[in-house]
Structure 1
Amino acid sequence: MFERLEAEFASRLGRECLYVPSNRFGLFIALRHRMDPGQRLLVSPNSADEILFLVLAAGLRPVIAPIDPRTGAIDAHAIDDLRFDGILTTNLYGVPDDVITLGRACAERGIPLIEDAAHAIQTSVADGPVGTFGDAGVFSLSKAAGASPGGIVAMASPSDRQALGELRDHWLTPRYPATELGILLKTAVRNAIVATSLARPVWELGQWLGMHEPRRGHRIPLRRAALAGRLTGTGTLYPGLDALAPWVRADNHHYRMRQGPLTERHALRRLKVLEATRERRLAGVRRLSQLETVAPGVREHLDQPLFRVPLLVEDRDKAIEALRRVGVITGYVYDPPFDDYAPGLVEPSPAPAAARWWSQHALPIDPLQTDRALPILTKLSAPTWTPSV
């Protein structure tokens, strides 16, 4: 099952590919395969909540990297003095990490490079697709493609397929066809309304019905005491997904459920839609790049159909509410950075100021919604203070 989808990605990427039910699940098995419990993993401070928790579930120690304030990505030139045993890129909003420099650092140390390509399904670097530079690249089908559920692990060595397949099968939960159908129907409805005037009332209805994970600001509640108990309750360095399920499953409670042929057909159709909207996405990126508030790194990637275009604005929360009133729902805001969100559970960044600034001011905009958003965006002000590059 999923041979057609795996073959489609293999032809795009030139790598052996393995289907997984979500990006987060794929990252977990890739980390489990390539790293040992107790090792240190260099990560960006600005990423989704579940990334932190799946790293902890794998028994790894997150080491928070300094970031480049121009892109929000790991500052590849500021990591030489840090101790780590592997690197996990983020490719935030589709803006590529400096994977060439990071890959060189990994090669010199003899450690793995894992690429989180959830936001970067259409992004390339030096004529090579993101996700094909490290030991493994993990894609999401639910982001730009709008094909929830699903993900793909692209591996550098075909010999890894058996081990990754065994890890996948070990951690998968049973398939429930009715649940799978419900997920696909909700995904179809979401895709149909996301760029219409119905987006706001449907989002508000979802809030009222409790369909969105409870949040404290832009992060889910850490529940430190409960989390600490789950991390130590197994008596080993490797808690696993079951122990940290309430945290790893944030906003996707079926992230490791087996899927059937209907999901594969849906994903293949959505990939065609993704390609069909590529030029519209590029046009949106170019228009948004003309705003004075656009993150400077975006202007270096105007040939990339970014998942989101990050702007840097003074009053983000006010901007989010103004956009919501015109039907533009803003997600993928990662504030505060991991070392402020979970002190004591991570090794903090040696230079946290840029990440704090970025996480406070970053406003990600879907380039496909440029027309609807632009009247609001043109009125926004850039931050009054900017960290030095």
Structure 2
Amino acid sequence: MRPESAVAERTGRHCLLLPSNRMGLYLALRHWCTPGMRLLMSPISADEILFLVLAAGLRPVIAPVSPRDGNIDASRVDLSSVDAVLTTNLYGLPDDVAAFSGKILIEDVAHALETTLDRPLGTYGQAGVFSLSKHPGAGSGGVLAVDSAADLQSLTRARDLLLEPGAMRTELVSVASSMARQAALRLDLVRPALKLMRMLGMEEEREGYRIGLQSPELAEAMRLAPALQPFDPWVRADLHTYRARRGWVARWYQSRRLAKVPGERSRRLAGVASLAELPTVADGVRSHVHQPLFRVPLLVHDRDTAIAALERRGVATGYLYDPPYDDYAPGFTEPSPDPEPARWWASNVLPVDPLYAHRALPVLQDLMPARSDRPESRIPS
């Protein structure tokens, strides 16, 4: 079954296959939002998401977050002051989608392929944008899910205008690299694989932030918004082929990896349940312990030491989003009225893959909770 057909079967929506989740977010923002609109978004997400919002010509309005789950704290937002909302569903924990009824709602469900409330996430807003590189581990690919066939046709035309030519050699390398990562995880070879990657210089170098802001150049690019191409230096980040057309090899691999997701569900749920018993687990996990989360967020003291200890046991840590957008891109966003919960969350969160909880638990059981400067008063009763 083609990847978009599998997502269509889950969501009951019309689905469009894309080279990446990030391309899908841009298409959705451009399709439903008008340049100049105020878009409410979480300050904690991948850096490139902010640049996609700017590329769409929108004004990012940074929301306060809940320390329970790192998502938008809808109880502390004046929704009358914004035109649209972009959810994050961080690590698979669901945003309060019901609170955003009546607004243009774009759901980033990259982390939430398997999260379900009364129906699957990705079916509440005008669009749900999925990632094939997260739960399925396919290395690349995204799916845009919408209700209307007319919207699908329009989005397909917009996608085709933005696609760049693909290359079979690049595609084969991408698929082979993803297969190697999956094998390293399965065979408990993460530690030697990381060492080899570093020896060969395969990790992308960076100084400071994951994507350098380059404020003067970014301000110049914003003069050309809405347009995606001027923002390529920021959006492509660690996926330089985010707009490249994929061929049959990538589609075959995406379908193969996506078909494995249901078979991993029970193992993922077992990992969530075991990690939810730790004193360091984020409170929001305990409210969603029956969701097969992408990652289980813990909130720990001395996170860097914990990451190093996990790596020695062959457990790699990723998906850390620090600092929040308020601190990362001042001047390009409308700052949160209360940035402290986001700063606290982003500096202390340790996301753990529930599929490999058994490898991580010997380290995690000894971790201390994050310091008591936790903004308890911000948690809704």
Q: What interval of TM-score do these two structures reach, taking the shorter chain for normalisation?
A: over 0.9
Aligned to 2:184: 193
Task: Name the amino acid aligned to 1:118.
Answer: A
- In structure 2, what is the Cα distance between the partners aligned to 1:291 and 1:25? 37
Cα drift, residue 81 of structure 1: 5.8
How many residue pairs match? The answer is 376
Structure 2 unmatched ranges of 5 or more: none
Provide the rounded CA distance (Å) in 2 between the counterparts of 1:271 and 1:384.
Answer: 39
Q: Deviations over 1:173-194 (max 9, x none)?
A: 0121111111111111111112
SS at match of 1:137: strand
Alignment of 1:140-219 (within 5 A): 140-217=131-208, 219=210
Partners of 1:47 and 1:82 lie apart in 2 by 24
Report deviation, 1:230. Answer: 2.5
Tell me which of 73, 90, 101 is aligned to 1:75. 73
1:309 aligned residue: 296
Q: CA deviation at 1:325?
A: 1.2
For residue 131 of structure 1, what is the amino acid of its counterpart? G
Quick one: which amino acid aligns to residue 25 of structure 1? M
Question: Per-residue CA shift, 1:255-281, capped at 9, x if unaligned?
Answer: 111111222221121122111111000
Using the TM superposition, give the Cα deviation of residue 82 of structure 1 relative to its aligned residue in structure 2, in angstroms. 6.4
Output one character per residue of 1:83-114: Cα deviation in whole Å (capped at 9) or x when no partner.
22110000000011111112x2xx1xxx3100
- 1:387 matched to 2:375: yes
From 88, 93, 114, the equivalent of 2:106 is 114
Aligned to 2:256: 269
1:163 to partner: Cα distance = 1.0
Cross-structure match for 2:98 = 100
After TM superposition, the score normalised by the length of structure 2 is 0.95
Change (3 A) 1:140 1:57: same
Q: Measure, in 2, the Cα distance between the counterparts of 1:46 and 1:208.
A: 31
| CA distance in 2 between partners of 1:301 and 1:293 (Å) | 16
Could you say if the C-alpha distance between residues 331 and 157 of structure 1 is closer, same or farther in structure 2, counting changes exceeding 3 Å? same
Which shifted more, 144-153 or 74-83?
Answer: 74-83
CA displacement 1:221-276 (0-9 Å, x = unmatched):
222233223323x3xx42x2221111101111101111112222211211221111
The equivalent residue for 1:17 is 15
- Asked if the contact 1:214–1:220 (Cα under 8 Å) also holds between the matched residues in 2, the reply is no
Name the CA distance, whole Å, in 2 between partners of 1:349 and 1:196: 44
* Separation in structure 1 between the aligned mates of residue 43 and residue 276 of structure 2, nearest angstrom: 24
Among 226, 229, 232, the residue aligned to 1:245: 232
- Give the match's secondary structure for 2:259: helix
Distance 1:81 1:124 in 2: 24
2:341 counterpart of 1:350: no
3-state SS of 2:229 partner: helix
Q: Distance in 2 between matches of 1:343 and 1:218?
A: 14
Q: Does 1:229 align with 2:220?
A: yes
Which residue of structure 2 aligns with residue 136 of structure 1? 127
CA distance in 1, matches of 2:325, 2:334: 10
Superposed, 1:284-299 pairs within 5 Å as 284-299=271-286
Corresponding position of 2:38? 40
Q: 1-side partners of 2:33 and 2:195: how far apart?
A: 41
Describe the superposition over 1:295-342 as per-residue Cα deviations: whole angstroms up to 9, x where unpaired.
Answer: 000011111110000000011111111111111110000011001011
Once the two structures are TM-superposed, the CA of residue 284 in structure 1 deviates from its matched residue by 0.1
Give per-residue Cα distances to partners, 1:35-94, cap 9 Å, x unaligned: 122211111000001101111111111110011110100011111266221100000000
Amino acid at match of 1:67: V
User: Among the aligned pairs, what percent are the same residue?
Assistant: 54
- In the TM superposition, residue 218 of structure 1 has moved relative to its aligned partner by 5.7
- Alpha-carbon separation, structure 1, partners of 2:248 and 2:32: 30
Partner letter of residue 308 of structure 1?
Answer: R
CA RMSD of aligned residues (A): 1.5
Distance 1:387 1:30 in 2: 34
Contact 1:95/1:306, CA 8 A, preserved across alignment? yes
Q: CA deviation at 1:195?
A: 4.4
Taking the aligned partners of 1:345 and 1:195, their CA distance within structure 2 comes to: 42
Superposed, which structure 2 residues align to 1:371-382 within 5 Å?
Answer: 371-382=358-369
Q: Residue 14 of structure 1: CA displacement?
A: 0.6
Q: Where do 1:313-332 residues align within 5 Å?
A: 313-332=300-319
Q: Which moved more, 1:63-72 or 1:213-222?
A: 213-222
191-200 or 36-45, which deviates more: 191-200
Maintained 8 Å contact 2:3/2:258:
no
State the SS of the aligned residue for 1:159. helix
Which of 165-174 and 186-195 deviates more?
186-195
Could you list the runs of 5+ residues in structure 1 that have no partner in the other structure? none
Letter in 2 for 1:316: R
Give distance in 2, aligned partners of 1:11 and 1:358. Answer: 35
1:364 matched to 2:351: yes
d(CA) in 2 for partners of 1:65, 1:51: 15
| Alpha-carbon distance in 1 for matches of 2:314, 2:77 | 41
